[in-house]
Every structure is written in structure tokens, then in C-alpha cells.
Amino acid sequence: MLLPIDIIVYIVILFFSIAVHEVAHAYVAYLRGDDTAKMAGRITLNPIPHIELLGSIIVPTMLLILKVPVIFGWAKPVPINYRKLKNPRVDIPLISVAGPVSNMALSLLSAAGIRLIKKSPNFEFGFGDAIETFLCVMLTMNIILTIVNLIPVPPLDGSKIITYFLPTKIAAKFLNINSHICLIILFLLLSSGITLKFISYAINFLR
């Protein structure tokens, strides 16, 4: 059973991870000519500007309490003015993929940190044990965020990435699929054994 301190650690890591995710979106948008997110103060690792009550607090906390195997959440979408982008057809997928890539980078850094601790047995059985546990949670959380966000279902990042490979009219219709239908599809995918197996494989591979 998760203790309150465990839940706090999970939430803190989730806040940090989604902050990095949103900063990646905002910064790439800025590099591609759109300063909307920068002007809104979204290029910051301070999680407060990124927090959305439902996606950042309520949903993750409920998933932890209910012991759901896939813990995830989301932040306030980064504001983007497509008219400011240099090449929207290329830039939108590029901005979208930046978020999952940032989470994968955090996973790899966590895995590297765990490896370093494993190479120092004396440190591992001391203070290093707590750090290793923290890094394991960081690795797991960011693998989940990476994989879930790459699912090509609106409004997840994967849906915008896939538009690069679709004709313009089909891409527009795809991104405007009824949100309720998207939520049902996403729920079915996340509750399926295939998605969980894929996430478990990725986590075990990095560990």
C-alpha cells in the first residue's frame, strides 16, 4: 500500500516530468518562429504555470490510490500560433515530438544514474539506495509519458506527429475527431495488455 510520502514523490516527479515535456514543446515552437508560449511564460521548469487541476493533480492521484498500473497525467497545452511558424506542416510534428523526446531523455539519464550507483556498491547501500529508488520512479514515469504521448490519438502528441504523413485535408479531419470517441479509444488502448506489455518491455530494457 502506498504511503502518503510515496504519493508525494510520484506527484513531484510527475510535475517535473510534464514541466520538462511542456518546456520542450514551447522552446521548439520558439525556435520555429512562434514566441506565443515564451510570452506566456511557459519556457520555465517551474511546474506551476504548466499545472492543470484535472490532468496534473486529480487524475494521477486517483490512479495512484486505485493502484492502476499505468500512472500518467498531462499539463495545460502550450499555446501555439500556427501562423507564426516557419513551415507549419513540418513544424507542428516537430514541436509535438519534442515532448516525448524530452521524456525519453529523462529516462535515459535516470537509467545512466542507476548504472553509476550500481557500480558503487558502498554508496548504493547507503544514501545511494534512496537516490536509486527515486531514479527508478523517474525512469518508469518518463517511459510511460513517452509511450502514452506517442499514441496517435487526438489530442496526444502522436496524433500531431502522424499528420506529417497524411494529406492536409485528411490530417485536419483526423485532428478534429470527436473528443469523446478519442477518450474511449485511449482508455481501451491503455487498459489493453498490449500497451502494458510494451511499456513493461521498455522499462525492463532500460533497467
Q: Is 193 exposed, middle or buried (0-12, 13-18, 19+ CB in 10 A)?
A: exposed
Nearest to 173, CA basis, from 184, 162, 188? 162
Which positions are catalytic?
Answer: 22
List alpha helices for the chain, DSSP H.
Answer: 4-31, 36-39, 59-65, 88-118, 121-124, 128-149, 157-162, 168-175, 179-191, 193-206
Distance CA 197, CA 185 (A): 18
